[in-house]
Structure 1
Amino acid sequence: MDAQDKALEKRFNRGMLMRLLVLVTLMFGFGYALVPLYKAICDITGLNVVTTRDLHGAGSLKNTQVDKTRTITVEFDSNARGPFAFRPVRHSMEVHPGELTTIVYEVANGQARDISAQAIPSYAPKQATEYFRKVECFCFKQQTLKANEAREMPVVFVIDPKLPKDVKNITLSYTFFEVGTPVAQAPAEPAAGQKGS
């Protein structure tokens, strides 16, 4: 290979290196821009809403007007389905539609073992469900309580001012139940030859 061929090969390799560097830079920039682009597309189309959390409630709080002319009585209820104590710190409160409000529930695991539990909310009257917006809630995910642990868990909510005028009382009830409890095995049937001995 003569000097001219070596020079051509060197120039070709340098050109290829420059193209590869430009390609890598473009790929990195595209990958970096994907996250904000994905979020913008999800915001526009309303896709990727996978939780029960009221994502619209948190965003609409900036524009919510508190309706001081109305007062709603919100009652809090609790049911425990497992080896723990569970209750709200208050049984009722008066709130204005549009007002950001916090209620705290207390839970205590009296067992000498860790417990995983989940809370499921329900509302009365049923028509209030779509107007009761939880911004923060322990019900959004499973809770793990350590052995003999006691905990306070807040619920931050707002009642939409569009709540029908005839609704003056709302009950928020949680059923808190243990998740993943081992199922008791039924006693084994004796073998055919062992019956009636």
Structure 2
Amino acid sequence: MELRARNHVPAATAALSAVSLALVFGTVLGYVPESSLPPASERTLAAIPHLNAVLSTTAIGTILLGVRAIRRGDVSRHRTLMLTTLALFAAFLVCYLYRIALAGTAEFPGPAAVYRFVYLPTLAVHILLAIVCIPLVNYAVLLAVTRPVSEIYQTRHRTVGRIAASLWLVSFALGDVVYAMLYVVY
């Protein structure tokens, strides 16, 4: 299995990204029936945005620590931190999509001018970066998990990983800004 994926990282990236994005867009657009998911109390649904803010903020920390580790040459720590970030992102996404499927999106409670000129642009950039990150992160992770460390240096993992980590970091940070505008400031 590892050898097959190793020889087909771009195709595996495309397939994994297509499935991931189809799941996200299918849920957001209402194609996942609410009846197909386990029910949740209002309290649970209300707690998810706060949990996701914690997951997102923690992911920012693990990305920064992962970058620091690789700059210091600690490949093992880098790998652990970046896989932790991936797990945090997966947990975030499951919780987010679950809440969206059951409760829909949150309405912005602040002033119309802030909504139009601050909130929507911030949300749009956050969403765009999150979408762009999916194939980049998938590609970097697939390169990393299908090869021994000694071979990773001959791949595009470093280049794609830098881009993915940077965009992922900004996306998580903007997600925290969106959370703050929805649940703290207003």
Q: Which TM-score applies when normalising by structure 2?
A: 0.23
Q: Which has the larger radius of gyration?
A: 1
Q: Relative contact order (C-alpha < 8 Å, sep 6+): which is higher?
A: 2
Q: TM-score, normalised by structure 1?
A: 0.22
Q: Which has the higher strand share?
A: 1
